[in-house]
Amino acid sequence: MKIICAGLQKTGTKTIAEALRILGYNVHDVFEQFYHEKELWDKILNNTVTVKDYQRILENVDAMTDFPAIGVWEQIYEAFPDAKVILMVRSSEDEWVKSVLKQREVANEYLIIQNDLFRHFRMHFITGPLAFAFHKIETAFTIASLGVPRMHGKPLPEAFLRSRYRQHNSYVKSICPKEKLLIYNVKDGWEPLCKFLDKDVPEKSFPVVNVRGEMTRQVICNRWKYDCGFQKIVLKQTYIRVGILLSICVAFIAYLIHIFTSLVQ
């Protein structure tokens, strides 16, 4: 582990991930983390994780950003004390809160059912076990990082978000050695990032990713270019379950028609 991106969600996590990829780093963002390091998150939730687990499971990853990692960034730093830490921040607290609320708005466009009971039904019987496992980890680690269960569904309490943003940023600044920490706004582009990482500035323009929650649309529509296999498996499991449910419905309707026909005769 060379780089720990310690900025909360909606501080440019997708942009920094793309920038680090351009610089040649092996970056694990949300879906890569869940798909490849699920053992680690399960151990954390079961209180069985050790420093050696972090070191073993993450040894071939250069950089991590967003959740689940952001929920345990300091434990990752403890396991890899030579890593550099990038604390991404927004231009203002208001800008960050506005971005979080916009992310919720976009996500809710695709949530046909927002009731928790029906959401669990959908996870269990329609989208399948992988999506349900992701939902479980998403809830646990979003609470750990933002103090709210998820960035969609019910209205998010702004007071909680603001408090968490301040506390998190202050905590990162208080425990990271200054020479290991970059406080960084993605609007600042290549120069401060490359200087901190001792890298040459690429000829490529600095990336801008997930503007106004666009990644959510791409993931849900299966157009996210960094699908590591997670989306394909979820789609496959969904198609299988929808096929089974449709078969059951057709069989049940045929049975009802048979009963009705018998009664009429």
Q: What is the pLDDT of residue 112?
A: 47
Q: What is the pTM of this model?
A: 0.77
Options 3.40.50.10330, 3.40.50.300, 1.10.10.10, 3.30.70.1230; CATH for 3-264 is 3.40.50.300
pLDDT at 72 over 90: yes
| % of the chain with per-residue pLDDT over 90 | 50
Q: What is the pLDDT of residue 223?
A: 58
pLDDT at 48 over 90: yes
Domain ranges of the chain: 3-264
Q: What is the pLDDT of residue 208?
A: 84
Long-range CB contact pairs, 208-215, < 8 A, 24+: 208/15, 209/14, 209/15, 209/17, 209/18, 210/13, 210/14, 210/15, 212/102, 212/106, 213/102, 213/103, 213/105, 213/106, 213/107, 214/106, 215/14
Which phi and psi (to 5°) does residue 233 adopt? -70, -40
Q: Distance between CA atoms of 2 and 55, rounded to whole angstroms?
A: 12
Rounded mean pLDDT of the chain? 83
Q: What is the pLDDT of residue 228?
A: 65
